Structure 1
Amino acid sequence: MSGTQTGQGGAGRRTRAFIGSFTSAGGPGVLAADWDPRTGALTVTGASDAVPDPSFLALDGDTLYAVSETDHGAAAAFDITGPAPRPLAPAVPVDAKGPTHLAVTPGHVVTANYTSGSVSALPRNADGTLGPVSGQTAHQGSGPVTSRQAGPHAHQVLPDPTGRWLLAVDLGTDSVEISALDPATGGLRPHGSAALRPGTGPRHLVFHPAGSHAYVLNELVPTVTVCRWDAEAGVLTPLGETPVVQDVAEGAAGDVESPAYPSEVVVDPEGRFLWAAVRGADTLAVLALDPSGDTARLVGSVPCGGRWPRDLTLAPSGRHLYAANERSGDITWFTVDPETGLPERAGSVPAAAASCVVFG
């Protein structure tokens, strides 16, 4: 790692990577790694198994937050100034089961609780630790795929680019639920809902860098739904679907059971390309976005470098993509061709039961 690299935390602060993993499947917990911005290489420096199944992570300065994806769902804060993450305090219950995702907002951390189908807000104290749940919204509904959609399953929650709204992607109800977080009280106020095609099973979304569009990756069919986002009104409008695997025609997407289960979606900082990790097919799909952001077109795919890519992350430089391959137990990185968007495998590091990668 270059000593002159300037990280996201300010001048002179190096950028590092942090890896989540499933301890129940043999993972080491939360790993810290040095990052080489020239080659993309990761070098693990330490780990903490203080929190069971820290499947998703989020950063704010020198504090790392993790969910504990268990029936006794919780969230925890770690200090990351040393070679290994260090818990700041015991994990705090999220008052729900199976949290799979979390995001940092001013003054709070919010979690998406898959098993319970809800979103929780927890206040952040001055020292980075978390307080008890201050607000919660419970989703309602179901979907036609009864084995997966018997009830709500919130899979992701994140703020929109303005910070005014929270969007929660619900796999069980084929919807994106929109709410507002009161920064003073930590209360959550439901605002609206965007209905997606029944049976698609939306999992994660990403915003276009212009903030005018969002791209929702579906898990139960291998497609991405392009949506227009009205930040003033807090309204998400679906425009159409595009396949993320080569053998699914747009008109046939979702008509038959597919062995491809998309997991994560990433957009490049210039808004030209979209990448999606696809489990089962074990590929990284490359989609080209038109200048308006209204349409996406599948232009190719490459092997993910392992098995079951649960997460996909773009490095701060924009030059490397990182796939967290859960079942092969590794983080594989790729160099992105700036003209075509196609990733080329550049290396990997072992990480048993890997679930996500974040940079900061």
Structure 2
Amino acid sequence: MDLLTFFIGSYTMFITPDFGGTGQGIYTVQLNTKTGELITLHTQNTLNPSYLTISNDNKFLYCNTEVDMGDNPKVQSYKIKEDFSLEFLNEQPVSGGYPCHIETYNDNILVASYGTGNVLQFPLNESKELMRSKKNYHHVGSSINEERQEGPHAHQVAIHPNKRDIYVCDLGIDTIKAYRFQDSELVPNQAKDILVTKGGGPRHMVFNKEGSLAYVLNELTGTVSVLKYENDMFKETSTHSALPEDYKGIPSGSAIRIHPEGTFLYTANRKLEAITIFNIKRDKLELIDYQYTRGDEVREFNITPDGKWLIACHQNSHDTVVYKIKSDGKLTETYRSKEILSPVCIVFPE
């Protein structure tokens, strides 16, 4: 079979006068793995599904509605039907502003809320529907960028390959907060909290397969922090710029992915509108190339599970771009579509 079916989330409304979108909700999309072409199969209307996660058995999809706390954000569950359309199951209120990231952990959904700097646990019932939130932890603190780091801003939930340690990148406090599960409850694991260089604003992180190294994209400086796992915790060992030396704009790192084979690291930067490609040399990164994406607001991208394709989303110009990943890690554009409006997130069934 030469078709890979996956899902794209979008912004469907503007949450500030200059930030948001005009998408239709959650798109079911098919990639032709021979030609790189995309076909939209279905759309599921919902409000600002800016991040998505799929259950381990590929039968259910979950998303947030990313809006301000005063607009009653929700976390939603859907059944993935045989034709890959979605059937709404239920929703629960999110006690937080601008829930921006969501992750599956066993029979739980974990949500990071940017606006209010908190992380929530939503258990699932036997039907994989959402139950009310069981735990809600608010981060505290600030950092040196007075405009963007006036308080905590939880941005991503990341599950370590050991399936025990859970990390939450917080852009506002330059700290990656550690959590674990105690029986059926999410609990803080403060001894494993990770500090990164002040002012960086950690946004998203990825791990190598062994879990011995992690890579953190810092939104506010456009740098990648390399974290090494030693003495039962991660420590920052180096930072690498993902921006060209002559770049004069404001950094705005948006996404980071590691190649399934662990050989290459990719980061996206808005304003630069490019994907930076690194070769992974143990705990060091070697710059390979900048792939300029020729769109506006390269918000997110993802790599197909077979490691052959990279698909990038542009929030403002509605470009969804398919790249073939070459053996040296560089990218070749093979297809570009403007059919999907305000795309901001891509998830593949595993």
TM-score, normalising length from structure 2?
Answer: 0.91
Query: Any conservation in 2 of the 1:135–1:187 contact (CA below 8 Å)?
Result: yes
Q: What is aligned with 1:301?
A: 290
Q: What is aligned with 2:185?
A: 186
Provide Cα deviations, 1:106-162, integer angstroms capped at 9, x if missing partner. Answer: 110101110110110101122221111011221111011111110000000121101
The amino acid that maps onto 2:40 is V
Q: 1:281 aligns with which of 243, 259, 272?
A: 272
Query: Any conservation in 2 of the 1:268–1:318 contact (CA below 8 Å)?
Result: yes
Query: Any conservation in 2 of the 1:121–1:188 contact (CA below 8 Å)?
Result: no
2:61 pairs with 1:64: yes
| 1:311-350 to 2 correspondences below 5 Å | 311-338=300-327, 340-349=328-337, 350=339
Shift of 1:330: 2.5
Counterpart Cα distance in 1 of 2:217 and 2:289: 17
Q: What is aligned with 2:261?
A: 270
Shift of 1:18: 0.2
Counterpart Cα distance in 2 of 1:264 and 1:280: 13
Q: What is aligned with 2:136?
A: 136
Q: What is aligned with 1:239?
A: 237
Query: Any conservation in 2 of the 1:306–1:332 contact (CA below 8 Å)?
Result: no
Counterpart Cα distance in 1 of 2:38 and 2:205: 26
Shift of 1:185: 3.0
> How many residues get paired?
334
Q: What is aligned with 2:117?
A: 117
Query: Any conservation in 1 of the 2:309–2:322 contact (CA below 8 Å)?
Result: yes
The Cα RMSD (Å) is 1.7
Counterpart Cα distance in 1 of 2:168 and 2:84: 33
| 1:195-274 to 2 correspondences below 5 Å | 195-230=195-230, 233=232, 235-247=233-245, 258-274=249-265
The amino acid that maps onto 2:189 is P
Counterpart Cα distance in 2 of 1:139 and 1:123: 21
Shift of 1:83: 4.5
Q: What is the SS of the residue equivalent to 1:187?
A: strand
The amino acid that maps onto 1:260 is P
- Runs of at least 5 residues in structure 1 that lack an aligned partner in the other structure: 6-13, 250-256
Provide Cα deviations, 1:291-337, integer angstroms capped at 9, x if missing partner. Answer: x2x11122211112422111110011200001111111121110011
Q: What is aligned with 1:43?
A: 39
Counterpart Cα distance in 2 of 1:154 and 1:303: 29
Sequence identity percentage: 27
Counterpart Cα distance in 2 of 1:355 and 1:155: 14
The amino acid that maps onto 1:163 is K
- Runs of at least 5 residues in structure 2 that lack an aligned partner in the other structure: 14-20
Provide Cα deviations, 1:161-199, integer angstroms capped at 9, x if missing partner. Answer: 0110110000000111001123x4333233332111111
Query: Any conservation in 2 of the 1:224–1:242 contact (CA below 8 Å)?
Result: yes
Q: What is the SS of the residue equivalent to 1:289?
A: strand
Counterpart Cα distance in 2 of 1:219 and 1:140: 19
Counterpart Cα distance in 2 of 1:289 and 1:185: 36
Query: Any conservation in 1 of the 2:313–2:343 contact (CA below 8 Å)?
Result: yes
2:349 pairs with 1:351: no
Counterpart Cα distance in 2 of 1:86 and 1:117: 31
Structure 1 stretches of 4+ with a deviation exceeding 4 A read: none
TM-score, normalising length from structure 1?
Answer: 0.89
Shift of 1:343: 0.8
Counterpart Cα distance in 2 of 1:168 and 1:187: 12
Query: Any conservation in 2 of the 1:260–1:280 contact (CA below 8 Å)?
Result: yes
- Change over 3 Å in CA distance of 1:114–1:79 after alignment to 2: same
The amino acid that maps onto 1:323 is A
- Change over 3 Å in CA distance of 1:181–1:94 after alignment to 2: farther
The amino acid that maps onto 1:35 is L
The amino acid that maps onto 1:243 is S
Counterpart Cα distance in 1 of 2:188 and 2:268: 32
Q: What is the SS of the residue equivalent to 1:264?
A: strand
Counterpart Cα distance in 1 of 2:33 and 2:59: 19
| 1:15-94 to 2 correspondences below 5 Å | 15-24=4-13, 25-49=21-45, 51-60=46-55, 61-71=58-68, 72-81=72-81, 82-89=83-90, 91-94=91-94
Counterpart Cα distance in 1 of 2:53 and 2:335: 24
